[in-house]
Amino acid sequence: MTPDSFFNLSCGIVTVGWIIIFFLSPFWKGWDKPTVGVIAFLVAAIYTYLNVSNFSMSTVKNFSSLEGVGIIFQNPYLLAAAWAHILAMDLMVAVWIKRNSVKLGISHWKIIPSLIFSLLFGPFGFILYLLTRWMCTKQYFADNAM
């Protein structure tokens, strides 16, 4: 497969997970967790395959500088791996936000902005959720377990 194929496959798979979290999870009790878990696993498997199949010792030494990381990403397979990594991690942050909000009784509709920003800007969505959680629970440490 080409790097573009891996990129498109990762994006397609993770889109299903986002649809479940945004639209189905408030109504689809029980099946959303394992389904999104499988989706995250598949994207993580793509990431792992791309890294293992394109790994070299020079890759490791290039992690020590920004210029080196730029060199790593000149390999389109490793660039596709990095994108799969971002997709998987952003999806897992969204899963955590969803589970934590359910645990604390925060309405799904109140976390939609956090989910949107997690999809688009990853860590910013997490920060937005922490602010939303604080406003809804009046406790910053509403749940000690991250």
pLDDT tens for each residue of 51-109: 999 988 877 778 888 998 898 899 999 999 999 999 999 999 998 999 899 889 999 99
- Total of domains in the chain: 1
Domain that holds residue 107: 3-137
Asked, for residue 16, whether it belongs to a domain, the answer is yes
Note the pLDDT of residue 74.
92
Asked, for residue 74, whether it belongs to a domain, the answer is yes
Asked, for residue 36, whether it belongs to a domain, the answer is yes
In which residue are the tokens 């290039």 written?
Answer: 62
In which residue are the tokens 């210029």 written?
Answer: 67
**pLDDT tens digits for range 1-31:** 999 999 999 999 999 999 988 888 777 666 6
Q: Which long-range contacts (CB under 8 A, 24 or more apart) does 84-87 make?
A: 84/6, 84/10, 84/43, 84/44, 84/46, 84/47, 84/50, 85/47, 86/122, 87/10, 87/11, 87/14, 87/43
Asked, for residue 144, whether it belongs to a domain, the answer is no
Asked, for residue 146, whether it belongs to a domain, the answer is no
Asked, for residue 102, whether it belongs to a domain, the answer is yes
**pLDDT tens digits for range 27-53:** 766 666 678 888 989 999 999 999 999
Asked, for residue 91, whether it belongs to a domain, the answer is yes
